[in-house]
Chains A and B, each alone.
Chain A
């Protein structure tokens, strides 16, 4: 046989459609479930496992469960079913803690504002992002604090405003304000906040502050200025190497020792600061990983165009670096969300602690009381964390299109 060394194509082959893939349920099952004997055995084992696991779970959570509206007697009569009636009757405590019942409208407004501001902020298509961000990061915290906390101003003789107000005639009998009336809104000290309210406040504040702080720490760690660099490394390594419980303990017990006598920082605030600082140390290392993925060429191109350090970080380096580490960032957010349950250490009643408290309540004492309580807490935590996870995956996919090769 001779080989032709010379060849010239005379006709170009035009593009043809790809061969049709076999589709349909049966083909899918053949390929994924029964491709080999081992696969078939594993599939059978999986089916047996599901048959073993699902019915009891279904019976507990749905089949034999007592739903809201039921009584404690119903729950006692059905020990192998969840006592959702207990959750239904205590739901307000789980959401608001010891917040005064007559004032529930205040946290409700805060919840509504949170939803109304965060959803358009997270949805890329909604316009007015800048206004939205200012509202969320500046106006919302102030409004929320005033709403939740109220102001400690009462109509009393010794109140500083009393003289002024009575001087203006506002306290005349015409207005009928009796002694001791709250002038603004009833003051609700943070000790009375609790439940999901506390969990959400700590996580929203922690999440919004720990990312920027983590970014600053990561940049500081790479700084050429030795003092900044050392401080950042010291902070990160110190905080990362200590359990969160220790940080919270130190914040609640040791911090007051260093403060001047008579001065105290709110327990709730200390918990928030503790959680935020703790997460920001982790965040810093995640962000640093992202920064290292950015090639020197990007920095050089930015410098050669005259962009200074902050501008090249803000416009060029960070957008790319943060995109690389979205999974790590959200990982930290999820941890933070769950770690908020540790604030019980400093005496806060977050969602989990509120559930734990009521799990001992005698009026709902039944076999499934506490397991239902914990299941409820788990479902709430899972819902929030899973939403964060799905959102981050969606963001990753969305940002990815810009890099399509």
Chain B
């Protein structure tokens, strides 16, 4: 890994962070897997339009943290409020939050029995109740945005990893989410395909999307993020603006981590 940039000038004019609108608020949150205390005292406020990169060694709870935000994981203590809706065991509220929060997974998790277009239109049609023709128009729009409209009628298995991940991003965007969560979106990709996925993520950021990204792509973090969060042992141990974070880490664990991955 390096701090190498994505390779083009980034337009920051749209990347405004709201001063007043809170997108996500996490307060005093704890989570256990059985007896194992995975997340400890997480406090994090994300404003609308923020691009947050979450880094840390494996097993530090980064993925678990963002999976709590759309309740793929359940927390046992504290509060998580997404877009003004507090996540509890109330299924209705969970569905409400999930409709507004898109998620991109490390292993894409496209639906292999559906075509690309069907992958993109399923949720808009059956969750949002959008007419099929309109859903397909929106889907084609986003496929063009991720630059693979010509693959619309193929099946996921016929696409490369990078293309599949771009489809997965487009699939989330079709639900018109307010917040996007990325769980190591480039970790399962061949090195040559990382860039095409990062490009899409950069353009999303340029459009003003609120993003939380678990990633080891430090170049992306430096260029796009307005805040980097470093986690270890289930806790947030340091957070800062990217420039400061990379050039002036304060916690010993952060220094060690950065020295291991940047060369």
Name A residues whose Cβ lies closer than 8 Å to a Cβ of B: 297-298, 300-308, 311, 315-316, 319-320, 323, 399, 402-405
Who on chain A is nearest to B67 by CB?
A300
The answer to whether A306 and B123 touch (CB under 8 A), given A403-B155, A404-B157, is: yes
B123 A303 Cβ-Cβ under 8 A:
no
A308 B95 Cβ-Cβ under 8 A:
yes
Determine the chain B residues whose CB is within 8 A of the CB of A316 once the complex forms.
Answer: 111, 122
Residue from B110, B111, B122 having most chain A Cβ neighbours under 10 A: B111
B105 A301 Cβ-Cβ under 8 A:
yes
Q: Which of B143-177 contact A (CB under 8 A)?
A: 155, 157-158, 168, 171-172, 175
Determine the chain B residues whose CB is within 8 A of the CB of A300 once the complex forms.
Answer: 72, 103, 105, 109
A307 B127 Cβ-Cβ under 8 A:
yes
Cα separation A301 to B70 with both chains bound (whole Å): 11
**Contact pattern, B 111-137, Cβ under 8 Å of A = 1, otherwise 0:** 111000000001100110000000000
A305 in complex: contacting residue of B123, B155, B158, CB < 8 Å: B123
A301 B110 Cβ-Cβ under 8 A:
yes
Cα separation A402 to B119 with both chains bound (whole Å): 13
Cα separation A402 to B127 with both chains bound (whole Å): 24
Cα separation A306 to B123 with both chains bound (whole Å): 7
Determine the chain A residues whose CB is within 8 A of the CB of B56 once the complex forms.
Answer: none
A311 B127 Cβ-Cβ under 8 A:
yes
The 5 A-B pairs of least Cβ separation, nearest first, read A301-B109, A305-B123, A297-B109, A304-B103, A306-B99
A323 B122 Cβ-Cβ under 8 A:
no
The answer to whether A305 and B105 touch (CB under 8 A), given A300-B72, A402-B112, is: no
| Interchain residue pairs with CB less than 8 A apart (9) | A304-B70, A304-B72, A304-B101, A305-B171, A306-B175, A308-B91, A315-B126, A316-B111, A316-B122
Who on chain A is nearest to B100 by CB?
A306
B113 in complex: contacting residue of A308, A311, A402, CB < 8 Å: A402
The answer to whether A304 and B95 touch (CB under 8 A), given A315-B122, A319-B113, A405-B157, is: no
A404 in complex: contacting residue of B95, B110, B158, CB < 8 Å: B158
How distant is A402 from chain B, measured CB to nearest CB, in Å?
5
How distant is A239 from chain B, measured CB to nearest CB, in Å?
31
Determine the chain A residues whose CB is within 8 A of the CB of B72 once the complex forms.
Answer: 300, 303-304
Q: Does B102 make an interface contact (CB < 8 A)?
A: yes
Determine the chain A residues whose CB is within 8 A of the CB of B95 once the complex forms.
Answer: 306, 308
Cα separation A3 to B123 with both chains bound (whole Å): 60
The answer to whether A404 and B155 touch (CB under 8 A), given A298-B111, A300-B105, A306-B98, is: yes
Q: Does B107 make an interface contact (CB < 8 A)?
A: yes
Cα separation A304 to B183 with both chains bound (whole Å): 12
Cα separation A402 to B171 with both chains bound (whole Å): 19
Name B residues whose Cβ lies closer than 8 Å to a Cβ of A: 70, 72, 91, 95, 98-99, 101-103, 105, 107, 109-113, 122-123, 126-127, 155, 157-158, 168, 171-172, 175
Determine the chain A residues whose CB is within 8 A of the CB of B168 once the complex forms.
Answer: 301
Who on chain B is nearest to A317 by CB?
B111
Determine the chain B residues whose CB is within 8 A of the CB of A308 once the complex forms.
Answer: 91, 95
Cα separation A311 to B111 with both chains bound (whole Å): 14
How distant is B12 from chain A, measured CB to nearest CB, in Å?
29
How distant is B181 from chain A, measured CB to nearest CB, in Å?
8
B126 in complex: contacting residue of A298, A311, A403, CB < 8 Å: A311
Determine the chain B residues whose CB is within 8 A of the CB of A403 once the complex forms.
Answer: 112-113, 155, 157
How distant is A315 from chain B, measured CB to nearest CB, in Å?
6
Residue from A304, A402, A403 having most chain B Cβ neighbours under 10 A: A304
Determine the chain A residues whose CB is within 8 A of the CB of B113 once the complex forms.
Answer: 319-320, 323, 399, 402-403
Cα separation A226 to B110 with both chains bound (whole Å): 31
Cα separation A298 to B95 with both chains bound (whole Å): 17
How distant is A405 from chain B, measured CB to nearest CB, in Å?
5
A297 B107 Cβ-Cβ under 8 A:
yes
List 4 additional A-B contacts (Cβ < 8 Å) besides A297-B107, A307-B127: A300-B72, A301-B168, A320-B111, A320-B113
How distant is A310 from chain B, measured CB to nearest CB, in Å?
10
Cα separation A141 to B227 with both chains bound (whole Å): 65
A304 B107 Cβ-Cβ under 8 A:
no
Who on chain B is nearest to A323 by CB?
B113
The answer to whether A297 and B105 touch (CB under 8 A), given A303-B72, A305-B175, is: yes
Determine the chain B residues whose CB is within 8 A of the CB of A301 once the complex forms.
Answer: 103, 105, 109-111, 168
Cα separation A30 to B67 with both chains bound (whole Å): 61
Who on chain A is nearest to B127 by CB?
A306
How distant is A224 from chain B, measured CB to nearest CB, in Å?
11
Cα separation A317 to B110 with both chains bound (whole Å): 12
Determine the chain B residues whose CB is within 8 A of the CB of A304 once the complex forms.
Answer: 70, 72, 98, 101-103, 172
Cα separation A296 to B240 with both chains bound (whole Å): 34
Cα separation A298 to B110 with both chains bound (whole Å): 7
How distant is B190 from chain A, measured CB to nearest CB, in Å?
15
Determine the chain A residues whose CB is within 8 A of the CB of B107 once the complex forms.
Answer: 297
B127 A305 Cβ-Cβ under 8 A:
yes
How distant is A397 from chain B, measured CB to nearest CB, in Å?
15
